[in-house]
Amino acid sequence: MKRGYQIFDLIEEITLLDGTSYFEIANIFLNGIAEHAFNKGLIKNVRIVKLNIPHSKDIELYEKFVNEQEVIPDYGLTQWQIWNKEDPKIKSIYDRILKSNGVIG
């Protein structure tokens, strides 16, 4: 089922089964999916680190990228998928969002 266009307003920290963790820009629906993945044993932990982040131009660009390039998961997920941030432009936008919200230095 295709998900509607996702608007992001929070930052969460995801801890994978191998113990590594990363930050993701998401929303309450996607946080619920991550909580469900935790309950299914697909990830080790999820926690919200910042709520109600400002809807900046960088957020809009990141939303556009994710909505066009990634599959938005639903409750039927069978594995955890990390969104690809290898494109230098997206990585830069992602890093600016984390930095401007005080998540990284």
Tens of pLDDT, residues 41-86:
999 999 999 999 999 999 999 999 999 999 999 999 999 999 999 9
For residues 11 and 85, give the distance between their C-alpha atoms in angstroms, rounded to a whole number.
15
- For 65, the token pair is 């990228």
- Region 11-29: mean pLDDT is 98
CA atoms of 61 and 64, how far apart (whole Å):
5
Distance separating alpha carbons of residues 88 and 17, to the nearest angstrom: 27
21 has a pLDDT exceeding 60: yes
- Please tell me the pTM assigned to this model: 0.93
pLDDT at 1: 42
Q: Beta-carbon neighbour count of residue 32 at 10 Å? A: 13
Alpha helices by DSSP H, listed for 11-56, are 28-39
Strands (E), 1-105: 10-15, 21-26, 45-51
Task: Give the mean model confidence (pLDDT) for residues 3-11.
Answer: 93
* Residue 2 confidence (pLDDT): 53
User: What integer pLDDT is reported at residue 105 of this predicted model?
Assistant: 87
Share of the chain above pLDDT 90, in %: 95
